[in-house]
Amino acid sequence: MITAQTAAGRIVRTLGIAAALGAGVTISLSAQALGGGTKNAIETQIADLEAMRDKFLALAEAFPEDKYDWRPMEGVRSVQDVMSLIAAEGVLFPTMWGFDKPDWVADGGFRGEMGRLGELSKEDLIMEVERSFNHVIALVEGLSKEDRARQVDFFGLTVDLGTAVSLMANDMHEHLGQSIAYARMNQIVPPWSRSDSE
């Protein structure tokens, strides 16, 4: 279960690591992933979420169903757990900002939704990951300038909603990296990294 202290610590660590890598490298890599062109902050957030959605879906498909229970060691999330968590974050993080949870989401916060998602087949979980990302992308697309400036509490931080969206994306990127590591440890090449000969 995610606690406010754990999530805030992860967000702060992620921001610190990004800063330590250097703004130039981080911006360059992010720009490449977003396809170039001219984008404002909102368009960049949306393009980033769309790119993450596509990568999570590609990885979720690439893992054989019999590897969904795999975890690198005891006490660490499994593939199923990580995919369930990312699906839960896309629908539950916005509830922390004052938005209603979708009707399909289980009661009981992260514990309830993770329980529901953890029981799903690979195929059904992939559909939930996609539905979750589409939900949060639509929400971000619909934010007005006033919405983005509204102050919200997010894991003990008081920030404007636009910043909360960025913090959510930072957390999701951490889990994307985790999923890539899980894939590589299982000899699965992320689909977007495959050469023509693979």
Q: Over the chain (198 residues), what is each successive 10-residue block's mean pLDDT?
A: 54 45 42 62 94 97 97 96 97 96 95 96 98 98 95 94 96 97 96 74
Record the tokens describing residue 13, joined without a space. 């660590």
pTM, to two decimals: 0.80
What CATH fold (topology level) applies to the domain 4-33+41-191? Four Helix Bundle (Hemerythrin (Met), subunit A) (1.20.120)
Number of C-beta neighbours around residue 128 at 10 A: 23
Angle at 8 between CA 3 and CA 9, to 5 degrees: 100
Report whether 65 contacts 121 (CB < 8 A): yes
Record the tokens describing residue 175, joined without a space. 């889990």
Burial class of residue 76 in the structure, from the number of CB atoms within 10 Å of its CB (0-12 exposed, 13-18 middle, 19+ buried) = exposed
**Residue 169 Cα to chain centre, angstroms:** 6
**What pLDDT is recorded for position 122?**
97
**What pLDDT is recorded for position 41?**
85
Q: What are the phi and psi torsion angles at 157 (to 5°)? A: -105, 140
Give me the residues paired with residue 153 across strands.
158
Q: Is 133 left (phi over 0), alpha (psi -120 to 50) or beta?
A: alpha
Report whether 155 contacts 7 (CB < 8 A): yes
Q: What span, in angstroms and rounded, lies between the C-alpha atoms of 147 and 24?
A: 29
* DSSP of 4-18: HHHHHHHHHHHHHHH
Q: Where are the domains of the chain?
A: 4-33+41-191
Angle at 107 between CA 101 and CA 111, to 5 degrees: 105
